[in-house]
Structure 1
């Protein structure tokens, strides 16, 4: 297998067409309209990834600095620092015309936009890239995508967490390595237009029929197929993409909170939207998108409502051949000559695999992703370094990603049309 991390330790050249500016802010709270920026750092990068220009400053918010235990920015430390309007012109110079790179970029952009408005100016930024979204697109095999976790993964030393300048320095290295891996995988970078960013959060999502019974509210045991999930407010991942991930995992995505809702996903419950208020009144758990992402790695099998594809293809009757590469594989004396049945094995037989689906209708893909999850594997929405197998449905042979599947010599599986089993191509 190709060692993608070794090939993408650092991007040789950043993608052209952008002037990349890595930004980090520390704030007194979570809401741009109510809280203030306490410190800011901006690093403008050359195409080779080196820093062309940098700016950093503490900022006196003129009030309560908020959670000092997080950012360690006390009133005493901020006393005598410039106000935001005092540094806005110099900061605008380094940001002007640049594409902002930040971790959870909508957060940093929202605060900078609010501060520039208070200063009677316009934030001179039209586009941004979120390294959190980029890491998810790369599908890195990590428990979460926090900055500290990514720094450890990419072997980047953090000197002072929650320090705007040090976080920007660390994020620069994470961005360079992530951009290098994205180039290797031929994945586009998630650059969004700031002016129309709200359009990626549609007011509603199309419901996909769920084949599992609702097991009730979310508990410490984690997600179970059939749980009813509602999303409120803005999300780092575009809402339609997030809804597709949830449906693919066997969860029932709804637009309104009811007594049957299992969990509400909201990144800023302090805002108290109508959905948040109703969820709290009904005792429904409210979790962040980050927490949801962690839980999606371990979705327990649910109880089917009625006879479905899952019932027609019972677990104990699905013979699965040992994965083999499509090109000439190395001889394996211990490999069985024929596929081996699942009978007598637990449903975690495919634990550790990440299966990419190619082709098929939307409903077929949803059903097959659910079956994959029951077998212990993880369905993949994108072709990333973590993908271990490819399952080809109708028309999947002509998918533009198929040549890359063959190039990486991944095991290729396809469901037969005459018998309820899977076989390799």
Structure 2
């Protein structure tokens, strides 16, 4: 699961301000959580939405400093998000700025899953992450924080996944995608991730392997 907070709504003009990744294995069991604030090298944008002020970014890495580790987290996995196309567009733009092309990978969108629910399944009132989460009883979380949103997206995906056709095919295709190596400039620029407030920046279980969401 990937979630981003950004300085605005345009991936071309605005920058990633915070990112989080929650890893699930093939059985949808949690493998790890990774989050960091990101120095956008400019204005932070709508603080009233994401709650991040310029003063919160002291010591935060720039995107280039987290790009190598992030590549390795995403490698071999299905990219899942709530309105995942938006998250992918921001990631692709940030990687393009440092001269790397983000590969095309299988994607699953929990917003689309909510919209496509059929039969007698209850549908959310609206398709925001808040509305979709509330429709399945998820209410105790912090919206518009990258890690809070990523955790909630993971819980929502776990709820919807049994009804997703071809999930195994998505995983097989993800494993076959060729990724650029996080070496050279990226390895040299590897920076410490800095979570928001008291949140741990990196938390994983032993023996995390590629393959999952």
Name the TM-score, length of structure 2 as normaliser. 0.73
Larger radius of gyration: 1
Deviations 1:333-357 (A, max 9, x none): xxxxxxxxxxxxxxxxxxxxxxxxx
Matched, 1:71 2:50: yes
1:211 matched residue in structure 2:
none
1:164 matched residue in structure 2:
146
Aligned residue among 146, 159, 163 for 1:177: 159
Q: CA shift at 1:155, angstroms?
A: 1.2
Structure 2 gap segments, 5+ residues each: 175-213
1:399 matched residue in structure 2:
none
Deviations 1:151-201 (A, max 9, x none): 111112332110000111111010011112x15xxx556x7x99xxxxxxx
Pairwise CA RMSD of aligned residues? 2.0
Q: Determine if contact 1:100/1:125 at 8 Å carries over to the other structure.
A: no
Q: CA shift at 1:54, angstroms?
A: 2.6
Matched positions, count: 167
Name the TM-score, length of structure 1 as normaliser. 0.38
2:100 matched residue in structure 1:
121
Question: What secondary structure sits across from 1:82 in the alignment?
Answer: coil
Mapping of residues 4-403 of structure 1, within 5 Å: 22-139=1-118, 140-180=122-162, 182=163, 187=165
Q: Determine if contact 1:32/1:111 at 8 Å carries over to the other structure.
A: yes
Q: Distance in 1 between matches of 2:140 and 2:45?
A: 23
Question: What secondary structure sits across from 1:117 in the alignment?
Answer: helix
Q: Distance in 2 between matches of 1:30 and 1:121?
A: 22
Bigger relative contact order, structure 1 or 2 (CA pairs below 8 A, ≥6 apart): 2
Q: Distance in 1 between matches of 2:104 and 2:138?
A: 28
Q: Determine if contact 1:41/1:164 at 8 Å carries over to the other structure.
A: yes
Structure 1 gap segments, 5+ residues each: 1-21, 195-425
Higher relative helix content: 2
